[in-house]
A and B are shown apart, each in its own frame.
Chain A
Amino acid sequence: MIEATNLTKRYGDRYAVEDLTFTVRPGMVTGFLGPNGAGKSTTMRLILGLDRPTRGSVTVNGRAYAAHRTPLREVGALLEARAVHPGRSPYHHLLALARSNGLPRSRVLDVIDAVGLTELARRRAGRFSLGMQQRLGIATALLGDPHTLILDEPLNGLDTEGIRWVRGLLRDLAGQGRTVFVSSHLMTEMALTAEHVVVIGKGRLVADTGLASLIAESGHSSLEDAFVDLTGAATEFRSPARDGADR
């Protein structure tokens, strides 16, 4: 369970996130949607205690993230797939993290197998393709067998098989009663995976509702159309219109 209350973050004189209040519940996949620059990654950093909120607060399972003694056992996060030392192998990357939270070596081997990196476990991660690094990022998130998962665009760079695998993985994790909070720009994928969605635009909450009711209330038939409608007023970086292209 993730609970944000009036969560606000200002960088300089610009609000990245403003007055966000929402709850992410266990037992289902919650999609975190918003246009580029809406504040999704910022919100996730705030949840993980990496950035300090300007105002408001956020808790994970009732406590501030930093108050958890071995946070990897509570919360698994993927913020950026490329966040590995290019000279370090997946095995050592994960082993160092495991040691810092008192997790056994067997967990490292388990998650390496689970994401399909067994063959590459001892290779230098800097040479990996984006998809391979993404798998390592997912392995990092799963390391502590956490009850809560926070994943920032985990589908980036994955191939078709990888995307299907993540879809199944997220649903399984939610099915086991875990909290799964995942951001993505792939609406068709989110429509298949998420049960609930939190939508933000320009740092503000736009919607916090079930996927089905979001689509139904928008009068559209797809999540993508509903999303474009909802965030139209709150989209900062818009692509130039093409002649004859529909919005």
Chain B
Amino acid sequence: MSVLRAELIKFRSVYSTAWSLLSAVTLIVGFGILYAMVRVSRPPADPAGFDAVGVSLAGVQVAQFAVGVLGVLVITNEYAHGLIRTTFAAVPQRVPVLAGKAAALAGVVFAVSLPAVVGAFIAGQSVLAAEHLDVSFSEPGAARAIVGAALYLAVVAVIGLGVGATLRHTAGGVTAVFGVLVGPQLLTGFLPTGLAEDVYRWSPAPAGLAITTVHHDSTSLAAGPGFAVLLLYAAGLLALGAWRLHHSDA
């Protein structure tokens, strides 16, 4: 508990946190509106299969990079400045420090993302209303998709933290978190169709993003299982980071 409070103080006492979160919010809302406008200008042939919820939440797919990088920075910054030694001198149990960072990060990212996602939904639907493609909050799955989108971003931030704790360097960590989020999908271009579909389905981002849509298609996992897969990746990467922190010199 005291570790969590300490990490929250650190988290909110630097401008870089605010900048990352502000850019995430801007991307969530901005790209949601932009994508809705694109869809309005090119209305779907079959409105029944149109995912008005998913379209308005599409900004999450861009904002994920901002929160992923924030997750990396939370720990690589401490290594860059030698502050990590002060941190571990104050709390020699390193795994609880990482857990405190993960909790602070996930909590704040979720709390900031949720209103942004709600805003993107409202703004997106008002754009889609021009072609009568809009839906309301009571649309089945809409509430789950909205909360899910904020949860997705919180988990991506934790993935960034796990990667950062493992690699300890900002440049490498940022590159790696981009790799985790888009690497497998890029790889599918080089694979035979069947394998490509499987790789795509089980990749962290496509699996986790299913929760932000309501019309589920066969190329991806369903919302629940998909999110569970994302959580497994996050847990795995965080465990890797914890292992590295525990076993090597600070």
Contacts and interface: CB of A to CB of B under 8 A. Distances in A.
A82 B81 contact: yes
Interface string B62-91: 000000000000000110011101111111
Given A71-B90, A87-B16, A100-B91, A92 B82 contact: no
B86 A87 contact: no
Given A71-B90, A71-B92, A96 B82 contact: no
Given A51-B250, A100-B90, A79 B6 contact: no
Contacts of B92: 49, 65-66, 68, 71
A88 interface: yes
B13 A96 contact: yes
A149 to B, nearest CB: 12
Given A88-B10, A88-B13, A89-B13, A80 B2 contact: no
A205 to B, nearest CB: 22
Interface string B1-36: 011011101100111100000000000000000000
Nearest to B9: A96
Contacts, number: 86
B83 to A, nearest CB: 5
A72 B88 CA distance: 11
B9 A50 contact: no
Nearest to A91: B13
Contacts of A79: 82, 85-86, 89
Contacts of A85: 10, 14, 77-78, 81, 83
A99 B2 contact: yes
A103 to B, nearest CB: 10
Interface residues of A, number: 33
A101 B82 contact: no
B249 interface: yes
A175 interface: no
Contacts of B86: 79, 83, 97, 140
A83 B83 contact: yes
A77 B10 contact: no
Nearest to A150: B89
A97 B6 contact: yes
A226 interface: no
B93 interface: yes
B92 to A, nearest CB: 4
B250 A50 contact: yes
B9 A99 contact: yes
A82 B78 CA distance: 11
Contacts of B85: 45, 48, 50, 79-80, 83
Contact of A84 (B3, B6, B81): B81
Nearest to B16: A87
A232 interface: no
B89 A99 contact: no
A51 B249 contact: yes
A220 interface: no
B88 A50 contact: yes
Interface of B: 2-3, 5-7, 9-10, 13-16, 77-78, 81-83, 85-93, 249-250
Ordered nearest first, which 3 A-B pairs have the shortest CB separation? A92-B13, A66-B92, A100-B6
30 contacts: A45-B250, A50-B85, A50-B88, A50-B250, A51-B250, A71-B90, A75-B89, A79-B82, A79-B89, A83-B81, A83-B83, A83-B85, A84-B81, A85-B77, A85-B83, A87-B14, A88-B14, A89-B13, A96-B6, A96-B7, A96-B10, A96-B13, A97-B6, A97-B90, A99-B2, A99-B5, A99-B9, A100-B91, A101-B91, A102-B2
